[in-house]
Amino acid sequence: MCLDDEIHAKHMAKASLISREKMQAGLGGPFGAIIVKDGEVVGVGFNKVTTDNDPTAHAEVVAIRDACKKLDTFSLAGAIIYTSCEPCPMCLASIYWARLDQVYYANTRYDAARIGFDDEFLYDEIAKDIKDRSMEMVHLPDDVAKTAFDEWDAKEDKIAY
């Protein structure tokens, strides 16, 4: 095993330990994540869906929020996330929005499905055309919403993200 492999394994072990410890403490499902930048852990997260009554409080999202707050930035470019499970569609989208460089994961989505965390429906829904999704989605244009977009487009001091 080369040094890089050992470092990645060490970080994965930390994310996995967080998932197990927090699950055993009754704080949420068995999911943990850490974010590493320049060799340092800058974000830590574990599943807080039931403790925070927040369906978006997955380990990866919690870790992203933690890292962004600590680093005072919305971009985690140059960082790596280690997570105890393959990210669900929401977490994967969050990872892309945060601009993380790499994802290392331990368990697969199929492992998660086996214990009751089945995201296949979400993967399938996202791939469908809007009109074919199981949840009705209605396009309702609004002048103020359009104006806000137009003003953003013309705004000279905007911070692009």
Does 151 qualify as catalytic in the annotation?
A: no
What one-character-per-residue DSSP string does the chain give? --HHHHHHHHHHHHHHHHHHHHHHTTSSSS-EEEEEETTEEEEEEE--HHHHT-TT--HHHHHHHHHHHHHT-S--TTEEEEEEEPPPHHHHHHHHHHT-SEEEEEE-HHHHHHTT---HHHHHHHHS-GGGSSS-------HHHHHHHHHHHH-TT----
Catalytic residue among 6, 21, 40, 60: 60
- Catalytic residue numbers read 60
